[in-house]
Amino acid sequence: MRLLCVATLSLPLRYLPAACLVMMASLPCWAARDVYKYQDDQGHWVFTAIKPQVVFEVEHERVAEPEISPVRVLHKVITGKNQAEVVAVNNYGMPVTVKLAFTELTNTKTSMSLPEAFALAPNSRQTLFTIFPEQPGQWRFQYQYSFTPGKLDPEFYADYAYQVPFNLPQPAYISQGFNGNFTHSEPHSQYAIDVPLPEGTEVVAARDGIVVEVVENNSGAATADFAKTKANVVRIAHADGTMTVYAHLKTFSAKVRVGQQVKRGEPIALSGNTGFSTGPHLHFAVQINQQYELVAVPFLLQINGAVVEPKPGLKIAPQG
Protein backbone atom coordinates (compact mmCIF):
# COMPACT_ATOMS: atom_id res chain seq x y z
CA MET A 1 0.00 0.00 0.00
CA ARG A 2 2.08 2.85 -1.28
CA LEU A 3 1.23 6.15 -2.87
CA LEU A 4 3.37 8.27 -5.16
CA CYS A 5 2.60 11.95 -5.68
CA VAL A 6 4.53 14.87 -7.11
CA ALA A 7 4.18 18.55 -6.28
CA THR A 8 6.17 21.57 -7.48
CA LEU A 9 6.30 25.19 -6.43
CA SER A 10 7.90 28.18 -8.09
CA LEU A 11 8.09 31.45 -6.15
CA PRO A 12 9.82 34.71 -7.12
CA LEU A 13 11.76 36.04 -4.15
CA ARG A 14 10.84 39.66 -4.86
CA TYR A 15 7.07 39.11 -4.96
CA LEU A 16 5.17 38.02 -1.91
CA PRO A 17 1.47 38.34 -2.85
CA ALA A 18 -0.34 35.03 -3.19
CA ALA A 19 -1.27 35.93 -6.76
CA CYS A 20 2.38 35.53 -7.74
CA LEU A 21 2.50 31.91 -6.67
CA VAL A 22 2.52 29.22 -9.32
CA MET A 23 1.59 25.81 -7.96
CA MET A 24 1.25 22.57 -9.86
CA ALA A 25 0.10 19.33 -8.31
CA SER A 26 -0.83 15.93 -9.62
CA LEU A 27 -4.53 15.69 -10.37
CA PRO A 28 -6.57 13.56 -7.96
CA CYS A 29 -7.46 10.02 -8.90
CA TRP A 30 -11.11 9.41 -9.58
CA ALA A 31 -13.20 6.40 -8.71
CA ALA A 32 -16.59 5.33 -10.02
CA ARG A 33 -19.50 4.87 -7.63
CA ASP A 34 -23.00 3.59 -8.38
CA VAL A 35 -25.90 5.85 -7.38
CA TYR A 36 -29.54 4.73 -7.39
CA LYS A 37 -32.49 7.15 -7.47
CA TYR A 38 -36.14 6.35 -6.77
CA GLN A 39 -39.29 7.67 -5.08
CA ASP A 40 -40.42 6.06 -1.84
CA ASP A 41 -44.01 5.38 -0.74
CA GLN A 42 -44.40 9.01 0.40
CA GLY A 43 -43.19 10.39 -2.93
CA HIS A 44 -39.80 11.53 -1.60
CA TRP A 45 -36.76 11.16 -3.84
CA VAL A 46 -34.12 8.84 -2.40
CA PHE A 47 -30.48 8.71 -3.49
CA THR A 48 -28.43 5.71 -2.32
CA ALA A 49 -25.24 3.82 -3.14
CA ILE A 50 -26.92 0.50 -2.28
CA LYS A 51 -29.16 -1.09 -4.90
CA PRO A 52 -32.67 -1.10 -3.41
CA GLN A 53 -34.71 -4.30 -3.30
CA VAL A 54 -37.89 -2.82 -4.77
CA VAL A 55 -40.29 -3.63 -7.59
CA PHE A 56 -40.81 -0.06 -8.82
CA GLU A 57 -38.60 1.82 -11.29
CA VAL A 58 -35.11 2.81 -10.12
CA GLU A 59 -32.73 5.12 -12.01
CA HIS A 60 -29.10 4.06 -11.97
CA GLU A 61 -26.02 6.16 -12.72
CA ARG A 62 -22.28 5.76 -12.23
CA VAL A 63 -20.65 8.94 -10.97
CA ALA A 64 -17.01 9.89 -10.49
CA GLU A 65 -15.63 11.03 -7.17
CA PRO A 66 -12.06 11.80 -6.04
CA GLU A 67 -10.11 9.24 -4.05
CA ILE A 68 -8.36 11.14 -1.27
CA SER A 69 -5.32 9.50 0.22
CA PRO A 70 -5.39 9.06 4.03
CA VAL A 71 -1.74 10.20 4.12
CA ARG A 72 -0.66 13.35 2.30
CA VAL A 73 2.39 15.60 2.10
CA LEU A 74 1.61 19.26 1.40
CA HIS A 75 3.56 22.49 1.22
CA LYS A 76 2.44 25.98 2.16
CA VAL A 77 4.07 29.40 1.90
CA ILE A 78 4.54 31.12 5.26
CA THR A 79 2.83 34.52 5.16
CA GLY A 80 5.32 37.39 5.17
CA LYS A 81 8.33 35.14 4.70
CA ASN A 82 10.12 33.82 1.63
CA GLN A 83 9.91 30.20 2.68
CA ALA A 84 7.58 27.25 2.65
CA GLU A 85 6.73 24.55 5.14
CA VAL A 86 6.41 20.93 4.09
CA VAL A 87 3.67 19.32 6.18
CA ALA A 88 2.51 15.70 6.45
CA VAL A 89 -1.03 14.67 7.39
CA ASN A 90 -1.83 11.18 8.66
CA ASN A 91 -5.55 10.40 8.87
CA TYR A 92 -4.95 6.77 9.75
CA GLY A 93 -5.68 5.62 13.29
CA MET A 94 -2.21 4.06 13.38
CA PRO A 95 1.38 5.20 12.81
CA VAL A 96 2.76 5.43 9.29
CA THR A 97 6.20 6.02 7.78
CA VAL A 98 6.66 8.50 4.94
CA LYS A 99 9.62 8.49 2.55
CA LEU A 100 10.23 11.75 0.70
CA ALA A 101 12.79 12.59 -1.97
CA PHE A 102 13.43 15.70 -4.03
CA THR A 103 13.46 15.37 -7.80
CA GLU A 104 14.43 19.02 -8.25
CA LEU A 105 16.05 21.70 -6.07
CA THR A 106 16.80 24.92 -7.93
CA ASN A 107 18.30 27.78 -5.87
CA THR A 108 16.74 26.08 -2.85
CA LYS A 109 17.85 24.63 0.48
CA THR A 110 16.11 22.90 3.38
CA SER A 111 16.22 23.53 7.12
CA MET A 112 17.55 20.00 7.77
CA SER A 113 19.07 17.00 6.10
CA LEU A 114 16.27 14.65 5.20
CA PRO A 115 16.12 11.36 7.12
CA GLU A 116 15.48 8.05 5.38
CA ALA A 117 11.84 8.33 6.46
CA PHE A 118 9.53 10.33 8.71
CA ALA A 119 7.42 8.61 11.38
CA LEU A 120 3.92 10.04 11.77
CA ALA A 121 1.73 9.44 14.81
CA PRO A 122 -1.89 8.29 14.36
CA ASN A 123 -4.34 11.02 13.29
CA SER A 124 -1.65 13.69 13.23
CA ARG A 125 -0.46 16.72 11.31
CA GLN A 126 3.28 17.35 11.45
CA THR A 127 5.61 19.98 9.96
CA LEU A 128 8.51 18.03 8.47
CA PHE A 129 10.90 20.84 7.50
CA THR A 130 11.16 24.31 6.01
CA ILE A 131 12.43 25.15 2.55
CA PHE A 132 13.69 28.53 1.30
CA PRO A 133 15.83 30.15 -1.46
CA GLU A 134 19.62 30.24 -1.27
CA GLN A 135 20.03 33.40 -3.38
CA PRO A 136 17.74 36.22 -4.59
CA GLY A 137 15.75 35.30 -7.66
CA GLN A 138 13.58 32.41 -8.79
CA TRP A 139 13.59 29.24 -6.68
CA ARG A 140 11.91 25.98 -7.35
CA PHE A 141 11.51 22.52 -5.85
CA GLN A 142 9.80 19.28 -6.67
CA TYR A 143 9.37 16.20 -4.51
CA GLN A 144 7.75 12.79 -4.48
CA TYR A 145 6.71 10.66 -1.54
CA SER A 146 5.36 7.27 -0.57
CA PHE A 147 3.94 5.96 2.69
CA THR A 148 3.62 2.62 4.43
CA PRO A 149 0.99 2.02 7.15
CA GLY A 150 2.07 0.75 10.55
CA LYS A 151 4.92 1.24 12.98
CA LEU A 152 8.28 0.50 11.39
CA ASP A 153 9.68 -2.96 12.19
CA PRO A 154 7.46 -3.63 15.24
CA GLU A 155 8.36 -6.19 17.88
CA PHE A 156 5.12 -8.11 17.52
CA TYR A 157 3.75 -11.12 19.37
CA ALA A 158 4.42 -13.92 16.87
CA ASP A 159 2.75 -16.62 19.00
CA TYR A 160 -0.63 -14.92 19.24
CA ALA A 161 -3.44 -17.32 18.25
CA TYR A 162 -5.97 -15.52 16.04
CA GLN A 163 -9.65 -16.38 16.02
CA VAL A 164 -10.97 -17.97 12.84
CA PRO A 165 -12.15 -14.81 11.03
CA PHE A 166 -15.68 -15.91 10.13
CA ASN A 167 -18.75 -17.66 11.51
CA LEU A 168 -20.05 -20.63 9.51
CA PRO A 169 -22.09 -23.59 10.79
CA GLN A 170 -20.92 -25.86 7.96
CA PRO A 171 -17.43 -27.22 7.16
CA ALA A 172 -14.88 -24.85 5.61
CA TYR A 173 -11.35 -25.64 4.51
CA ILE A 174 -8.24 -23.64 3.63
CA SER A 175 -7.77 -23.78 -0.16
CA GLN A 176 -4.53 -21.79 -0.42
CA GLY A 177 -2.06 -21.33 2.41
CA PHE A 178 1.36 -19.85 3.07
CA ASN A 179 3.55 -19.51 -0.05
CA GLY A 180 0.68 -20.57 -2.32
CA ASN A 181 1.68 -20.67 -5.98
CA PHE A 182 -1.44 -18.94 -7.31
CA THR A 183 -1.50 -15.59 -5.50
CA HIS A 184 0.54 -15.96 -2.30
CA SER A 185 4.02 -15.48 -3.74
CA GLU A 186 4.56 -11.75 -3.10
CA PRO A 187 5.71 -10.24 0.22
CA HIS A 188 2.33 -8.69 1.09
CA SER A 189 0.51 -12.03 0.66
CA GLN A 190 3.19 -14.68 1.20
CA TYR A 191 1.75 -15.73 4.55
CA ALA A 192 -1.97 -15.50 3.83
CA ILE A 193 -4.80 -17.99 3.65
CA ASP A 194 -7.80 -18.30 1.35
CA VAL A 195 -11.00 -20.00 2.53
CA PRO A 196 -13.88 -20.64 0.09
CA LEU A 197 -17.10 -19.41 1.73
CA PRO A 198 -20.70 -18.94 0.65
CA GLU A 199 -21.16 -15.30 -0.32
CA GLY A 200 -22.64 -13.40 2.60
CA THR A 201 -20.88 -15.38 5.35
CA GLU A 202 -20.33 -13.27 8.48
CA VAL A 203 -16.70 -12.12 8.75
CA VAL A 204 -15.43 -11.29 12.25
CA ALA A 205 -12.40 -9.58 13.76
CA ALA A 206 -9.68 -12.11 14.53
CA ARG A 207 -8.25 -9.91 17.30
CA ASP A 208 -9.02 -6.74 19.27
CA GLY A 209 -8.00 -3.58 17.43
CA ILE A 210 -8.96 -0.39 15.66
CA VAL A 211 -10.38 -0.25 12.13
CA VAL A 212 -8.01 1.74 9.91
CA GLU A 213 -9.29 0.98 6.42
CA VAL A 214 -12.66 0.12 4.90
CA VAL A 215 -13.12 -0.36 1.15
CA GLU A 216 -16.56 -1.62 0.18
CA ASN A 217 -17.65 0.04 -3.09
CA ASN A 218 -16.00 -2.40 -5.53
CA SER A 219 -18.09 -4.97 -7.36
CA GLY A 220 -17.31 -7.93 -9.59
CA ALA A 221 -14.35 -10.29 -9.81
CA ALA A 222 -11.79 -11.23 -12.47
CA THR A 223 -8.32 -12.73 -12.82
CA ALA A 224 -6.94 -9.84 -14.91
CA ASP A 225 -4.31 -7.47 -13.53
CA PHE A 226 -6.76 -4.57 -13.18
CA ALA A 227 -8.72 -6.58 -10.59
CA LYS A 228 -5.78 -6.77 -8.17
CA THR A 229 -6.74 -3.39 -6.67
CA LYS A 230 -10.51 -3.92 -6.81
CA ALA A 231 -11.14 -6.12 -3.78
CA ASN A 232 -13.25 -4.86 -0.91
CA VAL A 233 -11.15 -4.83 2.25
CA VAL A 234 -11.27 -4.19 5.98
CA ARG A 235 -7.94 -3.57 7.74
CA ILE A 236 -7.61 -3.64 11.54
CA ALA A 237 -4.53 -2.39 13.43
CA HIS A 238 -3.48 -4.12 16.65
CA ALA A 239 -1.58 -2.98 19.73
CA ASP A 240 1.65 -4.82 18.86
CA GLY A 241 2.03 -3.17 15.44
CA THR A 242 0.45 -5.93 13.37
CA MET A 243 -2.53 -5.48 11.05
CA THR A 244 -5.10 -8.05 9.98
CA VAL A 245 -6.50 -7.87 6.45
CA TYR A 246 -9.87 -9.29 5.38
CA ALA A 247 -10.32 -9.17 1.59
CA HIS A 248 -12.74 -9.94 -1.29
CA LEU A 249 -15.67 -8.80 0.86
CA LYS A 250 -19.21 -8.36 -0.39
CA THR A 251 -20.07 -4.95 -1.86
CA PHE A 252 -21.38 -2.46 0.73
CA SER A 253 -21.39 -5.10 3.48
CA ALA A 254 -19.04 -3.44 5.98
CA LYS A 255 -20.43 -3.29 9.52
CA VAL A 256 -17.59 -1.11 10.86
CA ARG A 257 -16.08 2.28 10.06
CA VAL A 258 -12.58 3.76 10.19
CA GLY A 259 -11.60 4.68 13.74
CA GLN A 260 -13.95 2.17 15.36
CA GLN A 261 -12.62 -0.05 18.15
CA VAL A 262 -13.52 -3.71 17.62
CA LYS A 263 -13.31 -6.78 19.83
CA ARG A 264 -12.16 -10.24 18.87
CA GLY A 265 -15.12 -12.05 17.31
CA GLU A 266 -17.08 -8.88 16.49
CA PRO A 267 -18.77 -8.89 13.04
CA ILE A 268 -17.05 -6.55 10.57
CA ALA A 269 -18.43 -7.45 7.11
CA LEU A 270 -19.79 -10.21 4.87
CA SER A 271 -17.65 -12.42 2.65
CA GLY A 272 -17.93 -11.94 -1.09
CA ASN A 273 -16.24 -12.32 -4.45
CA THR A 274 -14.61 -9.02 -5.43
CA GLY A 275 -11.28 -8.12 -6.98
CA PHE A 276 -8.76 -10.69 -8.19
CA SER A 277 -10.75 -13.82 -7.45
CA THR A 278 -11.89 -17.09 -9.03
CA GLY A 279 -14.85 -17.55 -6.70
CA PRO A 280 -16.42 -16.52 -3.38
CA HIS A 281 -13.84 -16.73 -0.60
CA LEU A 282 -12.14 -14.86 2.23
CA HIS A 283 -8.49 -13.81 2.03
CA PHE A 284 -6.96 -13.34 5.48
CA ALA A 285 -3.45 -12.14 6.34
CA VAL A 286 -1.43 -10.60 9.16
CA GLN A 287 0.88 -7.82 7.98
CA ILE A 288 3.55 -5.50 9.38
CA ASN A 289 5.55 -2.52 8.14
CA GLN A 290 8.93 -4.13 7.55
CA GLN A 291 11.60 -1.82 6.19
CA TYR A 292 8.99 0.50 4.66
CA GLU A 293 7.09 -2.31 2.94
CA LEU A 294 3.86 -4.05 3.89
CA VAL A 295 4.73 -7.71 4.34
CA ALA A 296 2.71 -10.67 5.54
CA VAL A 297 4.02 -12.67 8.50
CA PRO A 298 3.23 -16.24 9.64
CA PHE A 299 0.43 -16.57 12.18
CA LEU A 300 -1.43 -19.16 14.24
CA LEU A 301 -5.15 -19.90 14.49
CA GLN A 302 -7.16 -21.04 17.48
CA ILE A 303 -9.53 -23.79 16.32
CA ASN A 304 -11.83 -25.45 18.83
CA GLY A 305 -9.38 -24.78 21.67
CA ALA A 306 -6.27 -25.93 19.81
CA VAL A 307 -3.56 -23.61 18.46
CA VAL A 308 -2.56 -24.67 14.95
CA GLU A 309 -0.57 -23.46 11.96
CA PRO A 310 -2.94 -22.92 9.02
CA LYS A 311 -2.22 -25.24 6.10
CA PRO A 312 -4.04 -26.08 2.83
CA GLY A 313 -6.79 -28.60 3.40
CA LEU A 314 -7.14 -27.78 7.10
CA LYS A 315 -10.74 -27.78 8.31
CA ILE A 316 -11.28 -24.57 10.26
CA ALA A 317 -15.07 -24.50 10.61
CA PRO A 318 -17.48 -24.99 12.22
CA GLN A 319 -16.32 -23.89 15.66
CA GLY A 320 -17.55 -25.53 18.86
Give the domain 161-317 fold.
Answer: Glucose Permease (Domain IIA) (2.70.70)
Q: What is the rounded distance in angstroms from the CA atom of residue 306 to the CA atom of residue 161?
A: 9
Give me the phi and psi of 18, to 5 degrees please: -60, -30
pLDDT at 22: 27
Percent of the chain with pLDDT over 70: 78
Rounded to an integer, the average pLDDT of 291-304 is: 95
pLDDT at 40: 67
Q: Which stretch of 69-83, 137-151, 275-289 has the lowest confidence by average pLDDT?
A: 69-83
Q: What is the rounded distance in angstroms from the CA atom of residue 125 to the CA atom of residue 33?
A: 29
Residue 158 has pLDDT above 50, yes or no: yes
87 falls in which pLDDT band (50, 70, 90)?
A: very high
Rounded to an integer, the average pLDDT of 29-37 is: 52
Residue 47 has pLDDT above 70, yes or no: no
Residue 161 has pLDDT above 80, yes or no: yes
pLDDT at 70: 87
pLDDT at 45: 63
24 falls in which pLDDT band (50, 70, 90)?
A: very low
pLDDT in tens, 182-221: 888 899 999 999 999 999 999 999 999 999 999 998 988 8
pLDDT in tens, 89-118: 999 889 999 999 998 889 999 999 999 999
Going from N- to C-terminal start, the domains of the chain cover: 5-28+68-149, 29-67, 161-317
pLDDT at 28: 36
DSSP annotation of 58: -
Percent of the chain with pLDDT over 90: 58
> Which amino acid is residue 53, in one-letter code?
Q
291 falls in which pLDDT band (50, 70, 90)?
A: very high
Residue 38 has pLDDT above 80, yes or no: no
pLDDT at 20: 24
Query: How much is the mean pLDDT over the chain?
Result: 83
Measured between alpha carbons, how far is residue 271 from residues 45, 176, 193, 263 in Å?
A: 31, 16, 14, 19
> Which amino acid is residue 14, in one-letter code?
R
Rounded to an integer, the average pLDDT of 111-137 is: 93
Residue 66 has pLDDT above 70, yes or no: no
Rounded to an integer, the average pLDDT of 109-137 is: 93
Residue 55 has pLDDT above 80, yes or no: no
pLDDT in tens, 250-266: 999 999 999 999 999 99
CB neighbourhood size of 260 (10 A): 16
CATH number for the region 5-28+68-149 comes to 2.60.40
50 falls in which pLDDT band (50, 70, 90)?
A: low
Rounded to an integer, the average pLDDT of 285-295 is: 96
